[in-house]
Amino acid sequence: MQMTYLEAIADAMRHEMRRDERVFMIGEDIGAYGGAFKVTKGFLDEFGSKRIIDAPISEAAIIGSAIGASLNGMRPIVEMQFMDFITNGFNQVVTVAGTTAYRWGLPVPMVVRGPSGGGVGGNPFHSRNAEAWFAHATGIKVVCPAFPDDAKGLMIASIRDNDPVVFFEHKGLYRKIKGEVPEGEHIVPLGQARVVRTGTHCSVIAYGSAVHMALAAADALASEGIELEVVDIRTLVPFDEETVFQSVRKTGRVLVAHEAVLTAGFGGEIAARIADTAFRYLDAPVRRIAAFDSPTPFAPSLEQAVLPNAEKIQTAVRELCSF
């Protein structure tokens, strides 16, 4: 069935809420209003106010209470109105949820999800790509889908996972990307990268919106005779190294791309692991394309300049291929 990225996420949550009484949602304006992006439109009518809980603007209380409910056998889905606001609940995610399995051996089957990413004129506070913070925090799984079918399959896998998951939806993809999504149960296991385009000259390792930039770059470069392979890692934690290494061994040239800022981004981790393990297969240095190290600016002229795009990827790939 054809669905937008947003519809696929809603479909996954609806599927799990129908299937498992332990799944409930908590967030801001998710009930009668249906959420700022309307992801939960119709959920209140179907599931009632006990399972679709509108909370005060208190991200720490929202995430903390979801952790407590998890300890008491529930499987909460927490909506952050914008993923930027997870900073207000950061302590709960990192200090409490991320240490519980290690310290107590107890599951925290909580999903914290919401819209992230820039390119839509959101300003510095509605545009952030915060995934690397959580990859660095220990004990937290980090999911960044790029396609509707993956968004659904990864969401179902995240809800059923016994560890805390931070699920970054890209708001720019919500209604822009449409695709075929399996009906009913569809699970994409966490920790499996996907080769979304095969090629022989250079690999682009990406996730989230950068996958679409890479695919656009691949189309453009094909006319120049450069065949790009695009690997969507889909989840940062767990990280599927093997699929990445396979692609590196095949092409010998690697560009790592993400929309998040460059310094200490997850791309650095990917590049380091490639250097550690697949160095002898490389014919060129590992390059990175990412956002300039600044907050995401508001004016379109500035925002488009600091964010990565398909043209920047093309330029970097040409350089790699002529190395």
Partner 1 sequence: MLMAREFDTAMLRLYRQGKAFGGVYSQLGNEAVSVGSAYALDTAQDVLFPMHRNIGSHFVFGQDLDQLMVNHLAREGSQMRGTDGTGHYADPARRIYGNVSHLGAMIPVAAGFSLADQLRGVTTVSLTFIGDGGAQVGEVHEALNFAAVHKIPLILIIENNQYAYSTPNSLEFACERLSDRAIGYGMYGTTIDGTDVELVYATCKEAVERARRGEGPSLIETKTMRMRGHAEHDDFSYVPKELLEEWSAKDPVETYITRIVNDGVMTADEITALREATLANMIAAIDRALERPWPAAEEGFKNVFMSV
- Work out how close the CB of 31 gets to partner 1 at its nearest, in angstroms, rounded to a whole number: 13
Residue 80 near partner 1 by CB under 8 A: no
**Range 234-253, binding partner 1 (CB under 8 A):** 238
Residue 99 near partner 1 by CB under 8 A: yes
Question: Could you say which of 2, 72, 301, 322 contacts partner 1 (CB under 8 A)?
Answer: 72
Catalytic residue check, 126: yes
Task: Give the nearer residue to partner 1 in terms of CB position, either 129 or 158.
Answer: 158
* Residue 28 CB contacts under 8 Å (≥ 6 apart), including other chains: 36, 54, 55, 56, 57, 62, 79, 81
Task: Give the nearer residue to partner 1 in terms of CB position, either 118 or 191.
Answer: 191
**Candidates 49-57, 149-157, 193-201, 292-300; binding stretch for partner 1 (CB under 8 A):** 49-57
Task: Give the nearer residue to partner 1 in terms of CB position, either 2 or 72.
Answer: 72
Residue 52 near partner 1 by CB under 8 A: no
Distance in angstroms (rounded) separating the CA atoms of residues 81 and 5: 17
Q: With helix as H, strand as E and coil as C, how does 198-228 read?
A: CCCCEEEEECCHHHHHHHHHHHHHHCCCCCE
- Work out how close the CB of 109 gets to partner 1 at its nearest, in angstroms, rounded to a whole number: 8
Distance in angstroms (rounded) separating the CA atoms of residues 285 and 21: 51
Task: Give the nearer residue to partner 1 in terms of CB position, either 89 or 297.
Answer: 89
**Range 104-163, binding partner 1 (CB under 8 A):** 104-107, 138-139, 141, 161-163
Distance in angstroms (rounded) separating the CA atoms of residues 202 and 312: 15
**Range 211-230, binding partner 1 (CB under 8 A):** none
* Residue 39 CB contacts under 8 Å (≥ 6 apart), including other chains: 6, 9, 10, 13, 30, 79, 169
CB 79 within 8 A of CB 40: yes
* Residue 131 CB contacts under 8 Å (≥ 6 apart), including other chains: 116, 142, 144, 166, 168, 208, 236, 260, 266
Residue 66 near partner 1 by CB under 8 A: yes
Catalogue the active-site residues: 126
List contacts with partner 1 (CB under 8 A): 24, 50-51, 53, 55-56, 58, 60-74, 91-92, 95-96, 99, 101-107, 138-139, 141, 161-163, 191, 238
